[in-house]
Amino acid sequence: MNFVKTTLTELEELGLKRTLRIHSGELTNYSTNDYLCMSTNPIAVKKAVEAVKLFGTGSGGSRLMSGNLSLHEELERRLAQLTGMETALIYGSGFLANTGVLTALAGRNDTIFSDRLNHASIVDGAITSRSRVQRYRHCDVQHLSDLLKKHTETGRKIIITESVFSMDGDIAPVREIFELSRSEGCILIVDEAHATGVFGHGGGICREEGVVPDVVTGTLSKALGSYGGFASCSRKTREFLVNKSRSFVYSTGLPPASAGAALGALQVINSRKESGSELVDRAMFFRESLKQAGFNTGNSNSQIVPVIVGDSSAAVALSHSLENRGILAVAIRPPTVPEGSARLRFSVTLCHQRKTLQNTASEMKKLKWK
Ligand SMILES: Cc1ncc(COP(=O)(O)O)c(C=O)c1O
């Protein structure tokens, strides 16, 4: 196993080695996806505890065996309502939702058209499906259209994009992509992992734009503060996924605590429909402060605010300096982001008051000129 040692040494030398750390909670945390601070919300906690008391700690098996709980189906009804789709199907995680949906809908004779910056779960789902894969330039509808016209092989054509991009915080032109998918006869899948709970009164970007793709995938682990994933779709598509989606069929149903917590989160989101827009407003305030200080925040237009540094070691150094000032913003390096675009990824959450955001921007400004 010599390659293990050499690979780790190489990663270290390139400034790309990752290590696991336990964060004490004393730092101001900008590296969480718990955007609405839902993981500690009393209603979500109460619902999780109640679910465990009623259903136990595990679901005991695949949903198709004996692991299908009334709690799962209640959560699916609520997720369908939130996303404005007919039904929903829960998966063990957002990663499993993407791989499960892609491998079920796309096969050997089909072509997947995927945004260049799509998440690893989409990349892996596309590879596992054995389809042909065409990657279009990030958010470039013209390039997507050119590729669709060029690749006229038989088989299904599937377009997949994130709505809010996880590392850039920019937003895909979902309406244009939707229209193109209809005129070219393609299946459209939109991954709303970072938009659920935040945009469209919680329903996501598609909901906000009044666009109904064939499948919306999402996660319970970010703004909903729980764990698990889902796909919202038509009844027929759900029936198909229940039969053909391997990460659904061959994996245990979601634990009751996670389903209960997600149900609690949806209750909170429905009772405070403006939380998401308040969050996006705070992020805009933060982004503008950083921009004024001369930082490159790319095309971010959401609660995710990257500060693009370029060099991996420089990004790590900046992150360490911030940590010494009580601020946690982990450096994101290749291969998570393209070569030469290492960055600090700030997630603004509802736990960050404007004053805190202002202080963080001031600390960044001091560091920039050192
Ligand atoms: C765009 C996107 N899709 C899917 C996922 C996977 O979600 P989960 O963490 O629930 O597996 C993530 C999270 O990392 C993501 O950023």
Q: Are residues 123 and 147 in the same domain?
A: yes
For 137, phi then psi, to 5°, come to -60, 145
Both 261 and 299 in one domain: the answer is: no
Domain at 157, CATH number: 3.40.640.10
What is the 295 CA–ligand 1 centroid distance (Å)? 27
Are 238 and 313 contained in the same domain? Answer: no
How confident is the model over 350-369, as a mean pLDDT? 91
Tell me the per-residue pLDDT of 111-130, one tens digit each, with 9 for 90 and over.
999 999 999 999 999 999 99
Between the CA atoms of 97, 103, 105 and 108, what dihedral angle is there, to the nearest 10 degrees?
170
87's enclosing H/E stretch is strand 87-91
Q: Which of 254, 271, 288 is the last residue of a domain?
A: 271
C-alpha–C-alpha distance, residues 21 and 94, integer Å: 23
Select from 271, 300, 330 the last residue of a domain. Answer: 271
Extract the tokens encoding 188. Answer: 């459209």
Q: What are phi and psi of 319, to 5 degrees?
A: -65, -40
Q: Look at residue 13 in the predicted model and tell me its pLDDT.
A: 87
User: For residue 46, is it within any domain?
Assistant: yes
- Rounded to two decimals, what is the model's pTM? 0.96
Residues 6+ apart with CB under 8 A from 236: none
Asked if residue 370 has pLDDT above 60, the reply is no
Q: Is 93 in the pocket of ligand 1 (CB under 6 A)?
A: yes
Same domain, 243 and 97: yes
Q: Is 229 in the pocket of ligand 1 (CB under 6 A)?
A: yes
222 is catalytic: yes
Place of tokens 């060029």: 150
- Please, are residues 261 and 48 in contact by the beta-carbon 8 Å criterion? yes
Residue with the nearest Cα to atom 8 of ligand 1?
A: 94
Residue 293 and residue 214 share a domain: no
Task: Report the CATH number that the domain containing residue 296 is assigned in CATH.
Answer: 3.90.1150.10
Pocket lining: 302 vs ligand 1, CB cutoff 6 Å: no
What distance in Å separates the CA atoms of residue 61 and residue 126, rounded to the nearest whole number?
27
Q: How far apart are CA 157 and CA 138, in angstroms?
A: 18
Which residue in this structure is represented by tokens 């198709």?
64
Across residues 151-155, what is the average pLDDT?
Answer: 88
- Among 20-29, 118-127, 195-204, 212-221, whose mean pLDDT is lowest? 20-29
88 and 214 housed in the same domain: yes
The overall average pLDDT reported for the chain is: 96
Q: Is 193 in the pocket of ligand 1 (CB under 6 A)?
A: yes
Q: Is 47 an annotated catalytic residue?
A: no
Do 262 and 279 lie in a common domain?
no
4 lies in some domain: no
Q: Is 194 a catalytic residue?
A: yes
Does residue 31 sit within a domain?
no
**Total of domains in the chain:** 2
- Identify which has the larger pLDDT, 21 or 4: 4
Looking at ligand 1, which atom is closest to the CA of residue 162? 1
Catalytic site residue from 222, 226, 245, 341: 222
Taking the C-alpha atoms of residue 125 and residue 44, their distance in angstroms, rounded to an integer, is 31
| Residue 5 in domain | no
Phi/psi zone of residue 11: left (φ > 0), alpha (ψ -120 to 50 degrees), beta? alpha
Within 13 Å, how many C-alpha atoms sit on residue 137's CB side? 6
Domain that holds residue 159: 42-271
- pLDDT digits 0-9 by tens, 56-69: 999 999 999 999 99
Interval between CA 219 and ligand 1 midpoint (Å): 6
- Of 215, 236, 271, the one marking the end of a domain is 271
Are 278 and 242 contained in the same domain?
no
**Domain assignment present for 6:** no
- Asked if the structure places residue 197 within a domain, the reply is yes
d(CA 343, CA 78): 36
Q: Flag whether 26 is in a domain.
A: no
Same domain, 53 and 74: yes
Same-domain status, 239 and 187: yes
Q: Facing residues of 134 across strands? A: 113
Q: What is the DSSP string of 196-223?
A: TTTSGGGT-HHHHHT---SEEEEESSST
| Mutation probe of ligand 1 site: the residue of 114, 219, 224 with most atoms within 8 A of C-beta | 219
Examine the domain organization and report whether 264 and 323 are in the same domain.
no
Residue 117 lies in a domain: yes
My answer on whether 263 and 293 are in the same domain is no
Mutate which of 121, 189, 221, 222 for ligand 1 pocket (most atoms within 8 A of beta carbon): 121
